[in-house]
Amino acid sequence: MRVISRTRLRQFWESSVGKRAENPLRAWFSHVNHHSTNWNNWGDVRKCFNSADKVGDCVVFNIAGNKYRLVTRIRYVTKKVFILKIMTHGQYDENKWPAECGCFSRPL
C-alpha cells in the first residue's frame, strides 16, 4: 500500500498535542506503507488491525493504545491510503470529524 501523505503524520507528532504519537505513527506508517502490505478489501485491513473501524467511506485506526485516532480513506484498487485526520481520543469523541473528513459523502 502507499500512504498519502507522511507529512500529515509528521505535522501531528510535531504539534503540542501529538508529541507522544511519533513512534506509534511511525510504526503504523512503516507497516502500512511496506511493499508486502496488500489490502484488497476491508477484511484484509481487519486482519492487520483488528481494532480498526469502518465509518462510512473512512477507516479509523486506534494509535498508541487508543490515545489517538487516525482517520483514513483507503482506495483498494489503486493501493492508496489517504491520511485525512489525526486527533486525540478526546477530539475524536467530539464527533466533528466525520463531516470534516467527508466520511458519509459520496465517493469521487
pLDDT for position 107: 61
pLDDT for position 103: 87
List per-residue pLDDT tens for the chain, 108 residues long. Answer: 999 989 999 999 999 888 899 999 999 999 999 999 999 999 999 999 999 999 999 999 999 988 999 999 999 999 999 999 999 999 999 988 888 888 888 765
pTM for this model (two decimals): 0.91
Structural domain spans, the chain: 2-101
Q: Are 16 and 93 in contact (CB under 8 A)?
A: no
Cα 78 from Cα 95, distance rounded (Å) = 29
Question: In terms of DSSP H, where are the helices of 1-108?
Answer: 6-13, 22-33, 42-48, 89-93, 97-101
Cα 61 from Cα 30, distance rounded (Å) = 14
Question: Which class is 2-101 in CATH?
Answer: alpha beta
